[in-house]
Chain A
Amino acid sequence: MRFDYLAPPTIKEAISLLSKYDGKAKVIAGGTDLMNLIRTKMIKPEYVVDIGHVPGLDYVKYDDKGALSIGALTTIRTLEMSAQVKERHPVICQAAAQLGSMAIRNVGTIGGNLCHASPAADTAPSLIALGARLKIVGPAGERAVALENFFTGPGQTALQRGEMVVEIQAPSMPPHTRGVYLKHSIRGAADLAIVGVAVIATSNGGCCRNVRIVLGAVAPTPMRARNAEEALEGKEIDDALIEKAAQAAADESRPITDVRGSADYRKEMVKVFTRWAIRGVIPKEEAVNETTHIIQRGEK
C-alpha cells in the first residue's frame, strides 16, 4: 500500500481536498474498514484524507425535545458507553455493543460504519428504524439525507463528489416505545452479522404502532421489512401475528450465500431473529427480554 496522507484541519479544507482529488482520495476516520480495503488491494487511493484532525465532530448531544445528534467521528465505544444514549435510545447502545471487539469499537466511528455501507453494518438497522437522518456537507453546501435512502448498494452510498457525513440525527423515542437489535454471528460481536434485526414499536400493552423492522446482512443494503411491519401495525400482538410477521420478513429478505451462511439458512435465521426481536419490544412479555439477553451473549 502506498498513498499520500493529508490531514486537513477543517471541514472546508477536507471537502476541497476531496473535490480536488475526486476518485483518487479516500476519507479515513478510524481506518478499521479503510485500512483493510487498502491492505487487501480492494481499493488503491492515491490520497488518504484523515478527518480525525477536524475539531468538533466527536459529540453526543440531545436537544430539549429529546432529539439526538451524533458527530460523525464519535467512536462506537463512546456510543456504547454513553449514559445519556443508554437512557434515551438504548437500542443504539445495544447495537454499538455488538459491533466488533472492544479494540475495534475504540477506534471505529459511527460515520465510518455508515459510510463503509456494508450490508451488515451493525449500527444501520436500529438507526434506520429510528428514522435517523444524516447531515452531509460538500462543495455545494449542506444537505440532509434519510439514512434509509443513503445506502445504494454494497459499499455504495448517496455521497456525491467531495461530500462527507458530519452528523447523524435521530428523533426522540416517543413514550412506550421500545427497540431491540439482535445480531446473529459466529464469533459474537467480533464477527460480522449473518443476520441483524432491529425492531422498534410503540405499545403500552394494547395495539402496536409505529412498527419498524429493519434487517441487516440479508440484502444488498440494510432493508426495511415492510410486509412484516404491516403485519403488526395497529394490531394487538399475539403469537400467531408474530409468526406471520417473522415469516413475512424472511420472505421479503434477499440474502446471498457467502462464507458466513447460505441464503436459505439466512432466511430461516431472519424468521427466528425477527420473532425474538418482536417479542423483545412487547412490554407484557418480560420473560422474553431474558431470551434477548441470552441471545445477545450467544448462549443459544
Chain B
Amino acid sequence: MKQLIKLRVNGIDEELYAEPWWTLSYVLREELDFIGTKQGCEGGHCGACTVLIDGKAVMSCIYLAMKARGKDIMTIEGLEGENGALHPLQEAFIEHFAVQCGYCTPGMIMTAKAMLGENPNPTEEEVRAGLSGNLCRCTGYTKIVEAILSSAEKKGN
C-alpha cells in the first residue's frame, strides 16, 4: 500500500505517495521528474544514480525511498554557481572536455561534490580513489580527473 512520504529535494519540500519498495532513484525520476539522475546498472556498481543525502554521496538506485523520508537530497539539478551560473564543477567538466555521451556525468559531478566537500584539496590519487564507484564508458577518466582537480584548485585561489 502506498504511504505518504516527505523529503526535501534541492531545497524544496516534496510530498508524495510511494510504494514501500520504490527506490530513491525511481521516486526522483518517475515521480518528481528529476531525470538528471541517471540509472545504469541499478545495482550500486556504476554510480550513474549518485545523489547527495545530507551531503553524502549515495547510490540512489539501491536506496529505499522509505529510508529517505525527512532527508535532504541534492540531485544534479540542485547544483548552482553564483547568480544562477553553472556550478564551478560543471564549468570545469565543460572546460576540460570531461563530458562525451554525458550519461555518467551527473553521477561523476555529485560524487566529486561530496568528495571536495570532505577534502577540498585532493591529490590525483585521492580523486581517482573517490571516483572508483563511478564508471565512464567514454572518456577514459583522465579528463574527468583533470576537471575535478582544476575545480578544486580554483576554489583554493
Interface size class of A (residues with CB under 8 A): 20 to 34
User: Please, which residues of chain A bring their CB within 8 A of the CB of B47?
Assistant: 101, 103
Contact between B64 and A190 (Cβ–Cβ < 8 Å)?
no
Contact between B67 and A106 (Cβ–Cβ < 8 Å)?
no
A158 to B88, CA, bound (A): 51
Nearest CB of chain A from residue B67's CB, rounded to whole Å = 6
A99 to B130, CA, bound (A): 12
Nearest CB of chain A from residue B7's CB, rounded to whole Å = 15
A102 to B129, CA, bound (A): 9
- For the complex of A and B, list the 3 residue pairs with the smallest distance between their C-beta atoms, beginning with the closest: A101-B133, A5-B20, A35-B62
Contact between B62 and A32 (Cβ–Cβ < 8 Å)?
yes
A4 to B125, CA, bound (A): 43
Within 8 A of A (CB), among B90-130: 111, 114-115, 125, 129-130
Nearest CB of chain A from residue B96's CB, rounded to whole Å = 22
Contact between A3 and B21 (Cβ–Cβ < 8 Å)?
yes
Residue of A nearest to B59 (CB): A103
B interface majority secondary structure: mixed
Residue of A nearest to B115 (CB): A102
Complex A-B: 17 CB contacts under 8 Å: A2-B19, A3-B21, A28-B64, A39-B42, A39-B43, A40-B43, A48-B21, A48-B64, A77-B56, A100-B133, A101-B132, A103-B57, A103-B111, A103-B114, A106-B56, A106-B58, A188-B132
Give 1 or 0 for each of A195-206: 1 = CB within 8 Å of chain B CB.
000000000000
A132 is an interface residue with CB less than 8 A from chain B: no
A283 is an interface residue with CB less than 8 A from chain B: no
A187 to B129, CA, bound (A): 10
A295 is an interface residue with CB less than 8 A from chain B: no
A39-B42, A48-B20, A190-B45 as given contacts; A107 in contact with B132, CB under 8 Å: no
Contact between B21 and A2 (Cβ–Cβ < 8 Å)?
yes
Nearest CB of chain A from residue B1's CB, rounded to whole Å = 8
Nearest CB of chain B from residue A35's CB, rounded to whole Å = 4
Contact between B62 and A31 (Cβ–Cβ < 8 Å)?
yes
User: Please, which residues of chain A bring their CB within 8 A of the CB of B56?
Assistant: 77, 103, 106
Contact between A4 and B20 (Cβ–Cβ < 8 Å)?
yes
B37 is an interface residue with CB less than 8 A from chain A: no
User: Please, which residues of chain A bring their CB within 8 A of the CB of B75?
Assistant: none
User: Please, which residues of chain A bring their CB within 8 A of the CB of B111?
Assistant: 102-103
Contact between B67 and A190 (Cβ–Cβ < 8 Å)?
no
Contact between B134 and A31 (Cβ–Cβ < 8 Å)?
no
User: Please, which residues of chain B bring their CB within 8 A of the CB of A190?
Assistant: 45, 132-133
A7 to B67, CA, bound (A): 9
Give 1 or 0 for each of B15-28: 1 = CB within 8 Å of chain A CB.
00001110100000
A284 is an interface residue with CB less than 8 A from chain B: no
The CB with the most chain A CB atoms within 10 A, among B19, B67, B125, is that of B67
A36 to B57, CA, bound (A): 18
Residue of B nearest to A7 (CB): B66
User: Please, which residues of chain A bring their CB within 8 A of the CB of B125?
Assistant: 297
Contact between A103 and B50 (Cβ–Cβ < 8 Å)?
yes
A35 to B42, CA, bound (A): 10
Nearest CB of chain B from residue A79's CB, rounded to whole Å = 15
Residue of B nearest to A75 (CB): B56
Contact between A1 and B132 (Cβ–Cβ < 8 Å)?
no
Within 8 A of B (CB), among A50-85: 50, 52, 77
A40 to B99, CA, bound (A): 31
B40 is an interface residue with CB less than 8 A from chain A: no
Give 1 or 0 for each of A4-34: 1 = CB within 8 Å of chain B CB.
1101000000000000000000001001100
Nearest CB of chain B from residue A272's CB, rounded to whole Å = 22
Contact between A31 and B43 (Cβ–Cβ < 8 Å)?
no
The CB with the most chain A CB atoms within 10 A, among B20, B63, B125, is that of B20
